[in-house]
Amino acid sequence: MTVRFGLLGAGRIGKVHAKAIGSNARAELVAVADAFEQAATDLSAAYGCEVRTIDEIESAGDIDAVIICTPTDTHADLIERFARAGKAIFCEKPIDLDVKRVEECLAVVRQTKATLMVGFNRRFDPHFAAVRKAIDDGAIGDVEMVTITSRDPGAPPAEYITRSGGIFRDMTIHDFDMARFLLGEEPVSVAAHASVLVDKKIGELGDYDSVSVILSTASGKQCVISNSRRATYGYDQRIEVHGSKGMVAAENQRAVSIEIANGNGYTRPPLHDFFMTRYTEAYANEIAAFIDGIATGTQAAPSGEDGLIALALADAALRSVKEGKTITV
């Protein structure tokens, strides 16, 4: 079976998915749509697909599934439209920045029995997936405490911050999903601290650039998340999971693993400096899982509900900072 794709949005992340589809033997990229015609035309030339409007993709008989990579404020509307059109839907996170809007949207998805997968790509990173597999294999016994370190190489520009929904909904949301993926139990409380240490402008826009979060579950499992919009040494992405019988950790990744030694010591190169090079395999695996879900008629995780819960945790973290107390979710 070949899944025939329509791609909505030909920007940075759209290209990542176009490439993943192009190198997947079970997928075919049929058409791309973008408000900026040049972007759509360029992508269509590079990946050998047609340029169509969103309306045309919606009504197309030769398209089975769509990838939504448009701006965040269009996600919920597009999910509803394509759910009603009977297409399988892969949507970049977040579904929306507002929990109520997400809930409405998911009601439509349930009603239409549409397939919806949300783009928490990190679950598909081979290293993080191997951590999860080690847990599932019983290598560390019962999970007790999780530590997630996620630090961006640098702060995004002001216009990005403005539309991002804030660091918890934009950046930490990935870690909330990872925490749920690894804890094996829903977080029931959130305590967070946030400050501006990297870029004053971020503070002026009402956002933070440095945050620490403690999540806990009903049985007392804990997860600590450490985020910063700065990491001079590259894209710092680590997890470690402590259990009753041991610990499993995923190390950072770099493009080349050489080491140079001299009088200053032993130096290894900086880490990947961009999420797209760091998570290249994750994006390919993610699309493959989406196709698997369609092919086997099963719901591929992470689902719309996974997207909703991560967003609710982000909202709780923000409240915890504002109110100076642990928030129960």
Point out which residues bind a second copy (CB under 8 A).
23, 126-127, 130-131, 134, 139-140, 144-145, 147, 149, 151, 189, 191-193, 195-198, 210-214, 216, 219-222, 224, 226, 228, 230-233, 236, 242, 244-251, 253, 255-270, 324-326
C-alpha 47/C-alpha 37 separation (Å) is: 15
- Is there a contact between 308 and 95 (Cβ–Cβ < 8 Å)? yes
Q: Give min distance, CB of 10 to a second copy, in A.
A: 18
Q: Dihedral of CA 116/122/123/124: which sign?
A: positive
Q: Give min distance, CB of 159 to a second copy, in A.
A: 24
Which CB, 299 or 326, lies closer to a second copy? 326
- Nearest-10 crossing angle of helices 126-136, 173-183: 30
- Is there a contact between 211 and 172 (Cβ–Cβ < 8 Å)? yes
SS3 state at 232: coil
Which CB, 115 or 210, lies closer to a second copy? 210
Which CB, 158 or 249, lies closer to a second copy? 249
Which CB, 114 or 248, lies closer to a second copy? 248
Q: Give min distance, CB of 131 to a second copy, in A.
A: 6
Which CB, 41 or 74, lies closer to a second copy? 41
Q: Would you call the peptide bond into 302 cis, given omega within 30 degrees of 0 as the criterion?
A: yes
Pairing relationship of beta strands 222-228 and 143-151 according to DSSP bridges = parallel
Residue located via tokens 């929306």: 96
How far CA 248 is from CA of 41, 121, 139, 150, in Å, comes to: 45, 20, 8, 17
- Nearest-10 crossing angle of helices 72-84, 99-112: 20
Q: Would you say how long the chain is, in residues?
A: 329
Structure tokens at 8: 């909505």
Q: Give min distance, CB of 276 to a second copy, in A.
A: 17
C-alpha 268/C-alpha 163 separation (Å) is: 36
Which CB, 98 or 240, lies closer to a second copy? 240
Which CB, 206 or 263, lies closer to a second copy? 263
Structure tokens at 247: 């610990």
Q: Give min distance, CB of 246 to a second copy, in A.
A: 3
C-alpha 304/C-alpha 90 separation (Å) is: 10
How far CA 88 is from CA of 34, 99, 215, 299, 314, in Å, comes to: 19, 22, 33, 10, 27
Q: Give min distance, CB of 63 to a second copy, in A.
A: 22
Q: Give min distance, CB of 56 to a second copy, in A.
A: 27
Q: Give min distance, CB of 302 to a second copy, in A.
A: 21
Which CB, 72 or 150, lies closer to a second copy? 150
Which CB, 16 or 118, lies closer to a second copy? 16
CA count, 13 A, side-chain hemisphere, 210: 8
Q: Give min distance, CB of 213 to a second copy, in A.
A: 8
